[in-house]
Structure 1
Amino acid sequence: MTTPYDVIVPAGGAARRFDGADKPGLTVGETTLLDRVLAACAGARTTVVVGPARPTTRAGVRWTREQPPGGGPVAAVAAGLDLVTADTVLLLAADLPFLDRRTVERLASALEEAGPYTDVAVLVDAGGRDQPLTAAYRTAALRAALAALGGDPAGQPLRRLVGGLNRLRVADTDNVAYDCDTWEDLEQARERDRS
């Protein structure tokens, strides 16, 4: 049994590569990208979505906004952390159509089992890249990293926030790290979902 965890889902970006469309509201199959992520983190004690409130099939979601709205992932983390109370928090991008509960639980368990000197269990995609928005963090370490940045979190790069954390890299054995950054990515996700 995994220890209790909370989740922050940054979902307030401008989606420039989607011509300003509401990316979390786009669908793969009959389900929005956001609802797919929310289903994967159904085991969370508290789920915080940072972005404009949208219709969702998941009850009990807490909504907040980064400052300023659209201020980027670090501003979203700062806003979400205000509502987090668990010792472990997962950061999960809102555009992961194949994220599943098994992977979410696997990340939370990996961090728990890694011991107190590991700050984050981060999913590593098939190309060997760390996915900091598919990762489980020790809440205290994430708060400390945010405080160490100093100043306004808006516009700060996420890798600057999490780059110095002691990490455990977790292989993406279920190929769920696929995210939808472009219309082409979305169409490929829809094709994969149909097959």
Structure 2
Amino acid sequence: MEFDAIILAGGKATRLGGAPKNELRYDGDTLLTHALRAAEGAGGVVVVGPCSLEVPEGILSAREEPVFAGPAAAIAAGLDRLDANGGSAPWTLVLACDMPHAVRGVAPLVQGLQSEPGVDGAMAVATDGRKQPLLGMYSTAALQREVKAARDSGRLTNSSVFGLLARLNLLTVAVPAGSTDDVDTWADAAALGIEDLGH
């Protein structure tokens, strides 16, 4: 399956005292490095985050407008950057950078899409039943359509990802335990064994 990837790394991390999530370390590497591994196989990868964020060679970067305009705006910025880089793959993996085990969930999403042709994408569902739209594989054309509609109506800034995806016909896919565990607080970080050398 041909896909590009958008990695979201630009939130305020208020409950972490502003500590950049992408720089937190798990199992010897930053969370951004783990996210990039989860996106392995993507034709193009864009990290949406601060302008100061350093990304490996060959990885694109972008920033949502206005800054801190929310994850839907970040997805839009990622799509724009991929398009400006020469086109888009049929599918786009959308991934938050604060899920160190997200790599476990990517293959089930792909398998789900292959078994259910005709849907607009697949969204991860945790073992407790919670949906996680920031671990999902979506039709690029469908995402672009919804971003345009949100922009045209002035709804893109500070919109939720669930709101952006609301009109899409999405498959929900159960992913392995831990795949969607994320870091919102220092308690979350401690539970996952995540380090911040400055905290």
**5+ unaligned residues in a row in structure 1: which ranges?**
none
Q: Tell me the CA shift for residue 180 of structure 1.
A: 0.7
Equivalenced residue count is 186
Deviations 1:59-110 (A, max 9, x none): 411001100121110110110111330110011011011122x532331342
Q: Please report how far the alpha carbon of residue 143 of structure 1 lies from its aligned counterpart in structure 2 after TM superposition.
A: 1.3
Distance 1:155 1:78 in 2: 12
2:167 is aligned with 1:168: no
CA distance in 1, matches of 2:100, 2:175: 14
Q: When the two structures are superposed, what TM-score results if normalisation uses the length of structure 2?
A: 0.87
Instruction: Specify the code of the residue in structure 2 equivalent to 1:153.
Output: L
**In the alignment, which residue of structure 2 is the partner of 1:124?**
125
| Deviation of the 1:132 alpha carbon | 0.3
The answer as to whether partners of 1:88 and 1:108 remain within 8 angstroms in 2 is no
SS of residue matched to 2:97? coil
Distance in 1 between residues matched to 2:64 and 2:10, nearest whole Å: 8
Correspondence for 2:59 among 58, 61, 78: 61
Cα deviations across residues 11-46 of structure 1 (Å, max 9, x unaligned)?
111110111111111111221111111111111111
Residue 113 (structure 1) aligned to one of 112, 115, 122? 115
The equivalent of 2:85 in structure 1 is none
For residues 1-195 of structure 1, what are the structure 2 equivalents within 5 Å? 3-52=1-50, 53-56=52-55, 58-84=56-82, 85-100=88-103, 102-116=104-118, 118-149=119-150, 150-151=153-154, 153-190=156-193
Give the CA RMSD over aligned residues. 1.6
**Amino acid across the alignment from 1:121:** A
Q: CA–CA distance in 2 between the matches of 1:143 and 1:75?
A: 12
Q: What percentage of residue pairs aligned between the two structures are identical?
A: 39
Poorly superposed stretches of 4+, deviation over 6 Å? none
Provide TM-score, normalisation by structure 1. Answer: 0.89
Work out the CA distance in 1 between the residues paired with 2:9 and 2:160: 16
In the TM superposition, what is the alpha-carbon distance from 1:174 to its structure 2 partner?
Answer: 4.4
